């Protein structure tokens, strides 16, 4: 919101955005904004965020006017939140009817949000000189409030980035950088459903690192972790960018490939990649994977999880036969 307000040059647009934000961020049923000055500005916001001029006969007007006139806090009507900027000798007051909450912390967050909205609204209205009387009363504070608005905009940008990072971390295996189990299903499930609707073939590959326990026991877990990362790299370069690859946990990996014309060619590529890696002899171990694969034909009435379980069983059967 801060970024949008800083780009708005019309009072009506400011009030429309303010009303929408109050409703969306606080789920308020209604709100009343009072801006002081020689000719006070009183704006009421409806339950849809629509802004309209409010008369002094408005039921909340005496309360918000008393808050502005007294220079100190006054009791809020039951079920409403009221904030003012600045706290002493306020130039603007905003009251909103917000849904009741049970936790004090949530109420404090609502108050902080309402204060931020009021600061942004007052700063923007002052910047565009919505009224000459308002300009005279807030000009001395305009630069400070605009700077505050920019700080809030920067804080919102940081929060957006943090939220994106948190989502990415929740879907990513920290050790390998691959998808984790949750990330795999979030990305592969829509592809699986699309392939079924479009009658396209696909395949699930399940892989297990051979000898990881022995490496952990003899060479240490740091070397074991490196072995896991190497396996992840070999799988990644053997698959296409459109395929979904994940570490399911421990020494197990799963991949989902759509439109793999020759599924067994994938296994051949993987083995060639492993052979090339081992030929370099850069590690104190030989990297080997037991792999199971199943084709997920569109005609089969199976889920993605069913295909994973089948590939898992195929992998263990192959491991049993080889060892």
* Residues above pLDDT 70, as percent of the chain: 86
pLDDT band at 105 (very low <50, low <70, confident <90, very high): confident
User: Is 309 part of any domain?
Assistant: yes
Domain boundary residue, one of 169, 190, 216: 169
pLDDT band (50, 70, 90) for residue 2: low
End position of a domain, from candidates 169, 195, 218: 169
CB of 2 within 8 A of CB of 123? Answer: no
In terms of domains, do 163 and 48 share one?
Answer: yes
- Is residue 123 a contact partner of residue 142, using CB atoms and an 8 Å limit? yes
Least Cα distance to 240 among 270, 276, 195 occurs for: 270
List, in sequence order, every residue forming a beta bridge with 205; answer none if it has no partner.
255, 293
Banded model confidence at residue 217, pLDDT cuts 50, 70, 90: very high
Rounded Cα distance, 209 and 176, in Å: 14
Q: What is the pLDDT of residue 110?
A: 86
Query: Which alpha helices (DSSP H) does 56-103 contain, by range?
Result: 61-70
For residues 222 and 134, state if they share a domain: no
Answer yes or no: is 176 within a domain.
no
Number of domains within the chain:
2
**d(C-alpha 312, C-alpha 293), whole Å:** 8
pLDDT at site 286 = 93
Q: How much is the pLDDT for 244?
A: 95
- Tell whether the model's pLDDT for residue 134 goes beyond 50: no
135: pLDDT confidence band, cut at 50, 70 and 90? very low
Split at pLDDT 50, 70, 90, the class of 4 is confident
| Domain closes at, from 147, 169, 191 | 169
Higher pLDDT pick, 275 / 164: 275
Looking at the structure, do residues 110 and 188 belong to the same domain, yes or no? no
pLDDT in tens, 5-40: 667 778 788 888 989 988 888 888 999 999 887 778
pLDDT band for position 170 (50/70/90)? confident
pLDDT the model gives residue 130:
45
Do both 18 and 162 map to the same domain? yes
The CATH number given to whatever domain includes residue 6 is 3.30.450
| CB-CB contact of 272 with 217 (8 Å) | no
Domain that holds residue 165: 2-169
Does residue 189 sit in the same domain as residue 164? no
pLDDT for res 138:
45
**Residues 202 and 235 both lie in one domain:** yes
Model confidence band, residue 104 (pLDDT cutoffs 50, 70, 90): confident
Domain assignment present for residue 224? The answer is yes
What is 206-221 written as a DSSP string?
Answer: EEEETTHHHHHHHH-H
Rounded (5°) CA angle 197-200-204: 105
What span, in angstroms and rounded, lies between the C-alpha atoms of 4 and 10?
Answer: 12
Q: How large a percentage of the chain has pLDDT more than 90?
A: 38
Please write the tens of the pLDDT for every residue from 270-287: 999 999 999 988 899 999
The end-to-end CA distance of the chain, in Å, is 62
Q: Tell whether 164 and 185 lie within a shared domain.
A: no
The whole-model pTM stands at: 0.50
Average pLDDT, the chain: 84
Is the same domain home to 158 and 185?
no
Q: Is the pLDDT of residue 140 over 70?
A: no
């Amino acid at each position: 919101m801060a970024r949008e307000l800083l780009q708005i040059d019309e009072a009506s647009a400011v009030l429309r955005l303010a009303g929408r934000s109050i409703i969306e961020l606080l789920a308020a049923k209604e709100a009343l904004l009072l801006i002081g000055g020689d000719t006070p500005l009183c704006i009421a916001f409806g339950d849809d965020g629509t802004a309209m001029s409010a008369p002094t006969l408005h039921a909340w007007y005496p309360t918000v006017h008393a808050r502005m006139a007294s220079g100190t806090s006054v009791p809020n009507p039951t079920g409403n939140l009221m904030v003012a900027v600045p706290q002493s000798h306020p130039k603007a007051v905003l009251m909103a009817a917000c849904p009741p909450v049970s936790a004090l912390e949530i109420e404090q967050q609502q108050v902080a949000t309402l204060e931020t909205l009021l600061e942004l609204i007052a700063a923007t209205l002052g910047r565009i000189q919505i009224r000459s009387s308002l300009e005279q009363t807030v000009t001395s504070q305009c630069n400070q409030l605009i700077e505050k608005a920019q700080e809030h905009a920067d804080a919102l940008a940081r929060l957006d980035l943090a939220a994106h990072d948190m989502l990415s971390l929740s879907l990513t295996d920290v050790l390998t950088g691959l998808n984790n189990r949750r990330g795999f299903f979030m990305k592969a499930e829509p592809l699986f459903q699309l392939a079924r609707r479009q009658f396209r073939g696909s395949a699930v590959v399940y892989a297990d690192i051979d000898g990881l326990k022995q490496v952990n026991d003899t060479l240490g877990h740091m070397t074991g972790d490196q072995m896991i990362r190497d396996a992840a790299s070999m799988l990644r370069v053997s698959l296409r960018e459109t395929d979904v690859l994940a570490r399911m946990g421990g020494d197990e990996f799963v991949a989902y490939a759509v439109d793999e014309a020759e599924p067994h060619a994938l296994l051949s590529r993987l083995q060639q990649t492993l052979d090339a890696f081992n030929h370099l002899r850069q590690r104190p171990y030989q990297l080997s994977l037991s792999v199971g694969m199943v084709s997920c034909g569109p005609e089969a009435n199976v889920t993605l999880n069913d295909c994973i379980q089948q590939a898992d069983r195929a992998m263990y059967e192959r491991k049993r036969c080889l060892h």
